[in-house]
Chain A
Amino acid sequence: MTTTFTMRHLLFALCIVFICACTNDTNNTKVDAFDRTAMLKGVADRAAIPSFKELQKNADSVALLATQLVEIQIPTTQQIQTLRNAIANLIIVFQSVIGYDFGPAEGSLGSLVENVSTFPVNTASLEDLIAVADTSFLNFQRDTRGLSALDYLFFRGTLTDVISNFSGEAGMNRRVYTKAVANAIARETRVVLNAWTGTYRQQFIDRSGTDAGSSVSLLFNNLNISYELLKNYKIALPLGKRAGQSASEPTRVEAYYQSTSLELARLHFHAAVNLWYGKTPQGDTFPSFRSYLKTVANGDRLINDTEAQITRIEEAFTTLGTSASLSTVITSNPTAVEPLHSEMQKLTRFFKSEMSSLLGISITYSSGDGD
């Protein structure tokens, strides 16, 4: 009896399905199998690996220059300027790997982003370490090394100040410390790049599910971590928008001494958005979150909302211009930065809850026990 009851219900179900198929618009019923493996291949070969290669090239170049510097008693303006340019490029290139801070980038002593790009620099501790010639890095003071340390060492003051600091016996410890910092960055990058060009690439592509620990979930989570890092630490923190802050803190920006914080924030934003679009800096395309959303129910709506919000953020960046640093703007006219922050805040829900919901991606890292 129960079997026939079930069968009758199933037939009824099929009728309903048929009716729905005939009445609903195509957007609502479409389900194309999205090729997640192709997406992961695209991300690995067109975005992640080329970005790490570019980072390696720049990190090696800084490391080489810093190593040569050790032997030079009195550096020339040209030498310091070359190093400055190389460091500036390295910090720029670093923005494009922040979204791939998983897998091989997760070291036992912290991730690549944590170890290399923590800011602001702790100048007092850094000077202490230089004074005692401690280049062991056997501490958790990440704010005494990495990119922000290089920014401090080479961009604080005029070129003449920097040359003077690095010259002679008095500058020896500084030169040695610089070499250690630059080589550590290159070494950490090498570990990540080697893994990607070695076995990790295939592992990454093979884990094509959507559950916790799958590559799509890792990529999604890191896109959000990267975006929140930008919004909360690169914009809200200097702006004094974080709970517990009693005033704005314009010095707590990335690359404070270079005064490029606003430009770096823009590049960081573009890197995140490019991953969502599936675009390389050169303009090539690969399947990514946007094309994935194209294939799921209600995906087009979310794409429109997301793109409209991205445009508003671009406009907010444009309004702020390119000449001044974030520190300068926040000091002189903090309200000018407010729209950038509030527009960024609005994109979070599209990137985070709405996208994970439509794609059925697991947000948490460990698998749960379900519902």
Chain B
Amino acid sequence: MLFGSVITISCVRFILLGWIDEQYTRPTMHFPYQGLEWVVSLGSPGMYILFGIMTASAVGILLGAWYRISAVTFFLCFTYIELIDKTYYLNHYYFVSLAAFLFCLVPAHRMFSVDVWRKPTLRVTHVPRWTIDILKLQLGIVYFYAGIAKISSAWLIDAMPLRIWLPAQSDLPIIGPLMALWWLPWVFAWAGMVYDVTVPFALSWRRTRLLAYVAVIVFHIMTGLMFQIGVFPLVMIAMTLVFFDDRLALLLRGSTHSMSDKSLEAPLRIEGRKHPLALHGVLVVFFVLQVLIPWRYLLYPGELQWTEEGYRFSWRVMLMEKSGTATFTVEDGVTGRKGIVDNSAFLNAHQEKQMSMQPDMVLQFAHHLYAHYEELGMHDPKVTAEVWVTLNGAPSSLLVDPNRDLSEAPLSICAYDWIRAR
């Protein structure tokens, strides 16, 4: 129900902010994931219809109405939208996708729901333990990996990028003036790391649970105030409630049934096998992947934050201050005439910002430019890029080989040899 509320709010917010147009129908190019190039923007009104269906299914999850269909529909719509353009990738969108997948598997509509009202025999008071545990495990993975990603000399010793971010927040009410304290970034860096690594365990243990939840609220409200991270704090504050047992659920339920009613009631449990084999298999594969995917960066050479090969889908959240300026040159293969590209003629400000610091997007944009200018009559254009990137306040360095014809470099999951070391 909470998940339903949060995703419904997110959908409505996205539509009201006009982001469908800005992000999906107006741009002339998108950055698809490799192998998923068939996931394209449906344009207008297609994207609006898709968002409409997604919002309706979110409401379905919220009300527990036609729950399974709603959950599967929401998962498919949301994931499709997120896969259209990787410049819009956000860790918490990825989390919502994963959580939506898990919600397809659990019976989260068997108590206070429209489905129970339609078909009272569905009603149960107890669900199998695994249905709650998989959500706890997923949340635990998010926090724990976010925590160990912070164990680096940049984060803990240099307090970067917090030393950049905190002073920029000095206009916040009440706590604003504190943000300029020179030692505060180190305190935040260490506290953030310790919080992320320990909070899944503290939430799991009954004696520390309440304290940990207070920490969850404080942490997410603080980061929500300080950084532009949209609905993410709300998602996490709502989702971590799953660590609490049914007494909280009953408290939230309030006056409709009192605690004493509950004690008189015989427990209603889901009949049948607790762990169908297929479900078991799906969950094992799912969580093994979840545990392994964040480590795939070890297969690539070079500095992870610089190359970003294996960076996404790893819970590396608000970890670096990175920004780039990318200048592309197209050269006619026959006449040799060179011209500089105006990136903003192809990309919106957000896409350009993301592209200008991430090698795989630089490559995709180069391929797009090749196709575009060849269609305009250029002969086999050579596309080169001078991409100056600054990481955590250090002087800019070239991200890619500026002499390499990127139009001839293929997209690949292997390491790119044209990425330069910092």
Contacts and interface: CB of A to CB of B under 8 A. Distances in A.
Given A31-B180, A363-B353, A3 B323 contact: no
B37 to A, nearest CB: 24
Interface in A11-58: 12-14, 16-17, 20-21, 29-34, 36
Given A36-B171, A305-B395, A357-B164, A365 B182 contact: no
Q: For A10, A13, A29, A232, which residue has the most chain B Cβ atoms within 10 angstroms?
A: A13
Contacts of A32: 180
Interface residues of B, number: 78
Nearest to B318: A371
A369 B342 contact: no
B157 interface: yes
B186 A20 contact: yes
A74 B18 CA distance: 55
A233 to B, nearest CB: 9
Contacts, number: 183
A353 B190 contact: no
Nearest to B389: A353
A113 interface: no
A348 B325 contact: yes
Given A9-B190, A210-B168, A243-B330, A369 B339 contact: no
Interface string A329-371: 0000000000000000100110011101111111111111111
B228 A360 contact: no
B349 interface: yes
Contacts of B187: 10, 13-14, 17
Contacts of B136: none
A270 B230 CA distance: 38
A349 B212 CA distance: 43
Contact of A243 (B17, B208, B228, B341): B341
A2 interface: yes
B318 A369 contact: no
Contact of B356 (A34, A244, A295, A353): A353
A247 B259 CA distance: 82
B38 interface: no
B246 interface: no
B201 A357 contact: no
Contacts of B232: 369-370
A140 interface: no
Contact of A244 (B179, B327, B376): B376
A208 B171 contact: yes
Given A2-B212, A6-B194, A21 B323 contact: no
Interface of B: 17, 19, 22, 90-93, 156-157, 159, 163-171, 177, 179-183, 186-187, 189-191, 194-195, 198, 201-202, 205, 208, 211-212, 227-232, 317-319, 321-325, 327-330, 337-342, 349-350, 353, 356-357, 369, 373, 376, 388-390, 393-396
16 contacts: A1-B208, A2-B201, A9-B190, A16-B157, A31-B163, A241-B340, A296-B167, A297-B164, A354-B395, A363-B353, A366-B19, A366-B350, A367-B230, A369-B90, A369-B92, A371-B317
